[in-house]
Amino acid sequence: MKKLSRLWILLIVLLVSVSLSGISQNRIIVRADQPGSKIDKAVYGHFAEHLGHCIYGGIFVGDKSEIPNINGFRTDVVGALKDLKVPLVRWPGGCFADTYHWKDGVGPKSERPSIVNVHWGGVTEDNSFGTHEFLNFCELIGADAYINLNVGSGTVQEASEWVEYVTSSNESPMTKLRKQNGREKPWNVRYWAVGNETWGCGGNMRPEYYADIYKQYATFMRAPGIYKIASGANVEDYKWTEVLMREATRQMSGLSVHYYTVPREWNKKGSATQFNDSVWFVTLQKTLKMEELVTKHSAVMDKYDPNKKVGLLVDEWGTWYDVEPGTNPGFLFQQNTLRDALVAGINLNIFNNHADRVRMSNIAQMINVLQSVILTKDKEMVLTPTYYVFKMYSVHQEAKMLPLEIKCNQYTSGTKSIDAINASASIKDGVVSITICNLDPFKSQDISFDIQGLSAASVTGKIVTANKINAYNDFGNKEEVSMADYKSAKLNKGSLEASIPAKSVVLIQLK
Ligand code: AHR
């Protein structure tokens, strides 16, 4: 009897110490022997709208500006975006797209009309950044362009002529106009969307009505090989996906979906920088909804497109908080903390893991709006924690995703729990890259990896973390969050053990 109770005590002590240390609860099997779909580089895409200081001030300052620039494009921003290997930029909106008439933005600048940006602060839009400027900017940073056509207040003819103006090498009134405006050769623009949020700011349509409109526009978008994108669902509107797939699968290359991570309610979203650990938990819990959304929208698409020809494109995602105090509410300017780094890492892992269906994503938005990778103030520029996660994850672009089996500890806050670990992996040129987020802001996580199909000889790593959950990079101050070398992964006779610090995003590379 005595012996039995001693055994029990030993067992309990063992269980308690294992759960406190987190040891051996976490195990990840990486199937390097079963590479899956290629992770399209467009999954690492960005979104740049005529909103606040995204375009004007952020990307474009004009060639007369005192801020150093290349033909009007900020030299510092161009350099940072090139380093980031930005593969794709979506433009001109967003809600702005369905108010935009592209002919206002071509030709001599002095003759371009000014309009009111009705969605975003009612400010004057002088159209000095138009089609040529956008496409030249994409060429400068080495990114593909994705143009969003105007359906809400535009016409089929206007859309059809825009496609022709940009892509055609034939003789026609539109190509003649392009040449007059200084561009002899067409641009190679593959991605074109028919309207934005047509269930809302793009026209408040029913999916049945929009499906017909979509097919009409798609018929007159005449350019070989272009990728035609239908405006997709708001969050979990699976009916929208169902109707679009049922009615228009044959005319469509991609269907979008939009989901923003909002910690609280839409009318009181919460501060970007002032939050406690329970708001940190709720934010990450809400961002994990992306897994459910991608899975369920994909399942609807599978019914009509079992061979997965049509891409699911998350062409707007990211955090959405209250604007920074004292800034124009119509400009959606927010700071970006370590919490945003975790949000970025988690979402990008989800997209990698669904590479068979998710072919593009566009974080909203590139500069000075919502979850930006860059913030600018006059001459100054700041790289955000989200920037560093995108930089770290760029190794996944065009690599083949590797399936993972994850068994992990829970991260508990109050009565709610979520997985403490979120991860994805890929292989390119014989190098296995694993990106891991430790969502728990208090506990580090020790993980044992079983890498099947690779006998690795060396391991290297990078990490994005900080001392505080709300650490951020600000103008004029030393960076609080950046990317550093990570050295806590150890290879021992082919097996890999790693300790992932609390509240961090880590890249481990093996070869
Ligand atoms: O990104 C800000 C806005 O959010 C976009 O213009 C719109 O598409 C979405 O509702």
Please write the tens of the pLDDT for every residue from 132-175.
Answer: 999 999 999 999 999 999 999 999 999 999 999 999 999 999 99
Q: Which atom of ligand 1 is nearest to the CA of 97?
A: 6
Would you state the pLDDT for residue 492?
A: 87
507 DSSP β-pair partners: 435, 462
**C-alpha 95 – ligand 1 centre gap (Å):** 6
**Which domain CATH number covers 445?**
2.60.40.1180
User: Residue 356: helix, strand or coil by DSSP?
Assistant: coil
**C-alpha 305 – ligand 1 centre gap (Å):** 28
Q: Which atom of ligand 1 is nearest to the CA of 49?
A: 6
Range of the domain at 428: 24-35+402-510
Would you state the pLDDT for residue 5?
A: 61
Q: Is 16 a member of any domain?
A: no
3-state secondary structure 461-477: EEEEECCCCCCECCCCC
Give the end of a domain, one of 367, 399, 431.
Answer: 399
**C-alpha 51 – ligand 1 centre gap (Å):** 9
Using CA atoms, how far residue 285 sits from 261, 420, 439, in Å, is: 9, 11, 10
Cis, bond preceding 92 (omega within 30 deg of 0):
yes
Does residue 149 sit in the same domain as residue 76?
Answer: yes
Does residue 203 sit in the same domain as residue 59?
Answer: yes
Cβ neighbours of residue 194 closer than 8 Å, sequence gap 6 or more: 149, 151, 159, 213, 214, 217, 218, 221, 228, 229, 230, 231
Does residue 138 sit in the same domain as residue 167?
Answer: yes
Does residue 362 sit in the same domain as residue 488?
Answer: no
For ligand 1, atom 8: residue with the closest CA = 94
Q: Is 429 a member of any domain?
A: yes
For ligand 1, atom 7: residue with the closest CA = 94
Cβ burial 274-312 (10 Å sphere, 16+ → b, else e): ebeeebbbbbbbbbbebbebbeebbebbeebbeeeebbb
Is residue 364 lining ligand 1, measured as CB closer than 6 Å?
A: yes
Indicate the DSSP class of residue 300: H
Is residue 316 lining ligand 1, measured as CB closer than 6 Å?
A: yes
Considering only CA atoms, which of 423, 394, 398, 441 is closest in space to residue 489?
423
Element (H, E) at 277: helix 277-287
Among the listed residues 66, 197, 236, 380, the single catalytic one is: 197
Reported in sequence order, the residue ranges of 80-132 that DSSP labels E, i.e. its strands, are 88-91, 115-117, 123-125
Would you state the pLDDT for residue 425?
A: 98
Q: Which atom of ligand 1 is nearest to the CA of 200?
A: 10
Would you state the pLDDT for residue 22?
A: 44
**C-alpha 43 – ligand 1 centre gap (Å):** 18
Are 86 and 41 within 8 A, CB to CB? Answer: no
Would you state the pLDDT for residue 25?
A: 83
Q: Is 11 a member of any domain?
A: no
Q: Is 15 a member of any domain?
A: no
Residue 197 annotated among the catalytic residues of the structure: yes
**Which domain CATH number covers 343?**
3.20.20.80
3-state secondary structure 6-60: HHHHHHHHHHHHHHHHCCCCEEEEEECCCCCCECCHHHHEEECCCCCCCCECCCE
* Rounded CA separation 337/1 (Å): 56
Residue 316 annotated among the catalytic residues of the structure: yes
Would you state the pLDDT for residue 498?
A: 98
Claim: this prediction has a pTM higher than 0.85: yes
Among the listed residues 133, 316, 405, 497, the single catalytic one is: 316
Does residue 200 sit in the same domain as residue 257?
Answer: yes
Does residue 371 sit in the same domain as residue 419?
Answer: no
Task: Give the strand pairing for 416-419 and 489-492.
Answer: unpaired
Q: Which atom of ligand 1 is nearest to the CA of 93?
A: 6
Q: Is 58 a member of any domain?
A: yes
Would you state the pLDDT for residue 18?
A: 47
Does residue 379 sit in the same domain as residue 453?
Answer: no
Is residue 95 lining ligand 1, measured as CB closer than 6 Å?
A: yes
Does residue 338 sit in the same domain as residue 412?
Answer: no
Tally of domains in the chain: 2
Q: Is 51 a member of any domain?
A: yes
Q: Is 296 a member of any domain?
A: yes
For ligand 1, atom 6: residue with the closest CA = 94
For ligand 1, atom 2: residue with the closest CA = 94
Would you state the pLDDT for residue 3?
A: 54
| Tens of each residue's pLDDT in the chain, 511 residues | 455 566 555 555 444 444 444 445 899 999 999 999 999 999 999 999 999 999 999 999 999 999 999 999 999 999 999 999 999 999 999 999 999 999 999 999 999 999 999 999 999 999 999 999 999 999 999 999 999 999 999 999 999 999 999 999 999 999 999 999 999 999 999 999 999 999 999 999 999 999 999 999 999 999 999 999 999 999 999 999 999 999 999 999 999 999 999 999 899 999 999 999 999 999 999 999 999 999 999 999 999 999 999 999 999 999 999 999 999 999 999 999 999 999 999 999 999 999 999 999 999 999 999 999 999 999 999 999 999 999 999 999 999 999 999 999 999 999 999 999 999 999 999 999 999 999 999 999 999 999 999 999 999 999 999 999 999 999 999 999 999 999 999 998 878 999 999 999 999 999 9
Would you state the pLDDT for residue 334?
A: 98
3-state secondary structure 308-340: CCCEEEEEEEEECCCCCCCCCHHHCCCCCEHHH
Considering only CA atoms, which of 382, 356, 354 is closest in space to residue 368?
382
User: Residue 355: helix, strand or coil by DSSP?
Assistant: coil
Does residue 456 sit in the same domain as residue 329?
Answer: no
**C-alpha 261 – ligand 1 centre gap (Å):** 13
Does residue 383 sit in the same domain as residue 437?
Answer: no
Q: Is 12 a member of any domain?
A: no
Give the end of a domain, one of 399, 416, 443.
Answer: 399
Does residue 406 sit in the same domain as residue 347?
Answer: no
Give the end of a domain, one of 399, 427, 462.
Answer: 399
Task: Give the strand pairing for 400-402 and 374-377.
Answer: unpaired
Does residue 82 sit in the same domain as residue 136?
Answer: yes
Element (H, E) at 388: helix 385-393
